[in-house]
Amino acid sequence: MKKVLLSLLLTTTILSLGAQNTNNKDARKLQMALYAISNLYVDSTDQSKLVEDGIIGMLEKLDPHSNYLNPEETKEMTEPLQGNFDGIGIQFNMLTDTLYVIQVIPGGPSERVGLRAGDRIIQVNDTLIAGVQMKTNDIMKRLRGKKGTEVTVKVLRDKNPELLAFKIVRDKIPVFSLDAAYMLDKATGYIKLNRFAASTLDEYKEEFAKLRKKGMKNLVLDLQGNGGGFLNIAIDLADEFLDKGKLIVYTEGVNQPREEANATGKGDFEQGRLVILVDEGSASASEIVSGAIQDWDRGVIVGRRTFGKGLVQKPIPLPDGSMIRLTVSRYFTPNGRSIQKPYEKGDAEAYQHDLIDRYNKGELMSADSIHFPDSMKYNTLTTGRTVYGGGGIMPDIFIPLDTTLSSPYHRRLIATGIVNRAAMNYLDQQRAEMTRQYKNFDSYKAGFTIPESLLQQVVEMANEEKIEYNEEQFNHAKPLLMLQLKALIARDMYEMNEYFQIINDINDSLKAALQIINDPKAYELTLKRQ
């Protein structure tokens, strides 16, 4: 009898729930399933979690980029692109379960109290964070907080066994998207962007103006590893290079009408030789910019095929602060190429392994391993050059990934953070002498050589980590190791800009860009203007 009453109650309730929308059978079906699970399942259930899991499950069946973010994830996702957050103003790495300060943001709250690169944060408000395998997100929660609130950190510095305590008042911390900007030669400037955030265009314009004053006539824009960001910022950056009226990108979906973005003609670099560097880590907004430049024959694209992320997500806020990022349309380059690479619905694992598959197939090492069907051939809009669709932007000049400089032993040194720690330890011990000897970066770059004692320290640190020494592999990777150590020390002595001025010595794409940008005839021939 109880079962019959429960069944009648269930049916009546379900009909009541569905009465609000009698035409939507699928919605009623979901409501029935949720009600049945919540009221009839053998064990207790959490209805909120059931709803959350149901949303996640549905989105996973659609495409690789539609996803659900809980309230905390929503906040964490938007902060970096908005350009600032509240915190103490440091960049750090977790190395062997210890937080090492990599950089202290100039003018930030940590710099104001005397924290510096190389410090190891051991405690945050009397909570031990070193040597306890605490998750990075948990550490960030302790360091971040509302503007005006206080946090006390205790650090180890140099070889001093005593912990130094710093009371830091949190403040707004800017998040920069421009890593480096400097002159490659008397006529060519270099700008590297790591994302497309709210402040990106302003950062770019500020550095562009400085380079112009130094005599820049040509530009290398480095988008290697740039995973994207805001669509409007990508459009604004492409607008800097294209003449008025030229189509930059358009979006379209089954339920979304075509929307176009066109250049305004107000750009600061619509003339002059332009090279854009891309690789397999360049995605989304990076592909919009490089695709538009390629389609209009405005500049030369150098590097490797880009990631292929051309799906547009619309954020749909939910009442509890969570969010659905739903794919609503696709990005297309001006000549109609879809940026999105192929995917099988519901097979997220295969999609995520795409870059590994490219590596295994040899695509990152040889352009000959990349084959495009005739249906994927397109023509550029000015000179009619052949370019390719099918996902990502295929560069005009292919540069293979160089794996010959490294070795298995060297890769283990990098993976365990030993190279990074060794550089910081060296500077901790030699900071006063280094600062006295190298008054500026130019003198450092020209005069500093990695001493054998530092290389020996790297080997000793590796031994402590039970990494077996291999002399042949060490010597093979020694030039690369020395360059990396020199770049890391420069980063900690100066800024990230100086790091790239050293590490770019092994950037083959940049070497190729500089070569073609300084050869007007080769540049024009690549774009078929002659």
Indicate whether 338 and 199 sit together in one domain: yes
Each residue's pLDDT tens digit, 315-339: 999 998 899 999 999 999 999 999 9
The pLDDT score that the predictor gives to residue 299 is 98
Share of the chain above pLDDT 90, in %: 58
360, pLDDT greater than 90? no
Parallel/antiparallel/unpaired status of strands 256-262 and 311-317:
unpaired
Each residue's pLDDT tens digit, 471-484: 999 999 999 999 99
The pLDDT score that the predictor gives to residue 158 is 66
Instruction: Measure the CA–CA gap between 209 and 178, rounded to whole angstroms.
Output: 14
Q: What predicted TM-score, i.e. pTM, was given to this entire model?
A: 0.84
Indicate whether 184 and 145 sit together in one domain: no
The pLDDT score that the predictor gives to residue 9 is 40
Q: Where is 247: in which H helix or E strand? A: strand 247-253
> Please, what is the average pLDDT of the chain?
88
Q: Give long-range contacts, CB 8 A cutoff, 24+ apart: 450-455.
A: 450/482, 450/485, 450/486, 454/422, 454/426, 454/485, 455/481, 455/482
Indicate whether 487 and 454 sit together in one domain: yes
Q: Is residue 21 part of a domain?
A: no
Question: Can you give the CATH number for the domain in which 364 is found?
Answer: 3.90.226.10
Q: Which tokens sit at 79?
A: 């902060």
Please count the structural domains in the chain.
Answer: 3
For 128, the 3-state DSSP assignment is strand
Buried b (16+ CB within 10 A) or exposed e, 100-110: bbbbbbeebbb
Indicate whether 246 and 217 sit together in one domain: yes
Q: Is residue 47 part of a domain?
A: no
Q: Give long-range contacts, CB 8 A cutoff, 24+ apart: 144-148.
A: 144/85, 144/86, 144/87, 144/88, 144/170, 145/86, 145/87, 145/170, 146/86, 146/170, 147/86, 147/171, 147/172
Please compute the mean of the pLDDT values over residues 366-388 and round it to a whole number.
Answer: 86
Indicate whether 351 and 437 sit together in one domain: no
Per mean pLDDT, which range of 98-107, 114-123, 288-297, 445-454 is the poorest?
Answer: 98-107
Each residue's pLDDT tens digit, 395-435: 999 999 998 999 999 999 987 788 988 998 899 889 889 99
Instruction: Measure the CA–CA gap between 106 and 53, rounded to whole angstroms.
Output: 43
Last residue of a domain, one of 141, 157, 174: 174
Each residue's pLDDT tens digit, 113-126: 888 777 889 999 98
Query: Is 508 known to be catalytic?
Result: no
**DSSP state, residue 382:** S
Give the burial class of 19: count Cβ atoms within 10 A of its Cβ; 0-12 exposed, 13-18 middle, 19 or more buried. Answer: exposed
Q: What range defines the domain where residue 97 resides?
A: 84-174
Q: Which tokens sit at 161?
A: 């066994």
- Averaging pLDDT over each range in 95-109, 112-126, 409-423, 486-500, which range is the top one? 486-500
Indicate whether 105 and 241 sit together in one domain: no
Last residue of a domain, one of 129, 156, 174: 174
* Residue 341 and residue 282 in contact, taking contact as beta carbons nearer than 8 Å: no
Indicate whether 162 and 183 sit together in one domain: no
Please compute the mean of the pLDDT values over residues 172-193 and round it to a whole number.
Answer: 93
Indicate whether 163 and 230 sit together in one domain: no
Q: Is residue 67 part of a domain?
A: no
Query: Is 329 known to be catalytic?
Result: no
- Averaging pLDDT over each range in 9-13, 133-137, 460-464, which range is the top one? 460-464
> 7 versus 125: which is more confidently predicted?
125
Q: Is residue 530 part of a domain?
A: no
Q: Band of the pLDDT at 26, cuts 50, 70, 90?
A: confident
Q: Which tokens sit at 457?
A: 């320290």
Q: Check 66, 284, 286, 338 and give the catalytic one.
A: 284
Give the burial class of 444: count Cβ atoms within 10 A of its Cβ; 0-12 exposed, 13-18 middle, 19 or more buried. Answer: buried
* Residue 174 backbone dihedrals phi, psi, to 5 degrees: -70, 140
Q: How many CB atoms lie within 10 A of CB 303?
A: 32
* Residue 394 and residue 370 in contact, taking contact as beta carbons nearer than 8 Å: yes
Each residue's pLDDT tens digit, 130-140: 888 887 778 88
The pLDDT score that the predictor gives to residue 96 is 66
Indicate whether 412 and 391 sit together in one domain: no
The pLDDT score that the predictor gives to residue 3 is 39
Last residue of a domain, one of 401, 420, 451: 401
Query: Is 167 known to be catalytic?
Result: no
The pLDDT score that the predictor gives to residue 106 is 67
Q: How far is CA 313 from CA 316, 326, 327, 380, in A?
A: 9, 5, 4, 27
* Residue 207 and residue 243 in contact, taking contact as beta carbons nearer than 8 Å: no
Please compute the mean of the pLDDT values over residues 94-112 and round it to a whole number.
Answer: 77
Per mean pLDDT, which range of 158-162, 262-266, 407-411, 415-419 is the poorest?
Answer: 158-162
Q: Is residue 41 part of a domain?
A: no
Instruction: Measure the CA–CA gap between 27 and 22, rounded to whole angstroms.
Output: 9
102, pLDDT greater than 80? no
Q: In sequence order, which ranges of 25-179 are alpha helices (DSSP H)?
A: 25-40, 47-60, 71-82, 109-113, 136-143
Q: Where is 320: in which H helix or E strand? A: none
Please compute the mean of the pLDDT values over residues 304-314 and round it to a whole number.
Answer: 92
The pLDDT score that the predictor gives to residue 231 is 92
Per mean pLDDT, which range of 186-195, 231-240, 250-259, 336-345 is the poorest?
Answer: 336-345
Q: Is residue 71 part of a domain?
A: no
Question: Can you give the CATH number for the domain in which 151 is found?
Answer: 2.30.42.10
Indicate whether 343 and 418 sit together in one domain: no
> 12 versus 363: which is more confidently predicted?
363
The pLDDT score that the predictor gives to residue 510 is 98
Q: Which tokens sit at 35?
A: 């009600």
Please compute the mean of the pLDDT values over residues 150-160 and round it to a whole number.
Answer: 84
DSSP string spanning 464-493? HTT----HHHHHHHHHHHHHHHHHHHHHHH
Indicate whether 193 and 114 sit together in one domain: no
Each residue's pLDDT tens digit, 202-248: 999 999 999 999 999 999 999 999 999 899 999 999 999 999 999 99
The pLDDT score that the predictor gives to residue 79 is 60
Parallel/antiparallel/unpaired status of strands 274-278 and 218-222:
parallel
Q: Check 119, 171, 295, 354 and give the catalytic one.
A: 295
Q: Is residue 52 part of a domain?
A: no
258, pLDDT greater than 60? yes
The pLDDT score that the predictor gives to residue 94 is 75
97, pLDDT greater than 90? no
Q: Is residue 521 part of a domain?
A: no
Indicate whether 240 and 108 sit together in one domain: no
Q: Where are the beta strands (DSSP E) in 352-459?
A: 377-379, 386-388, 397-398
The pLDDT score that the predictor gives to residue 8 is 37
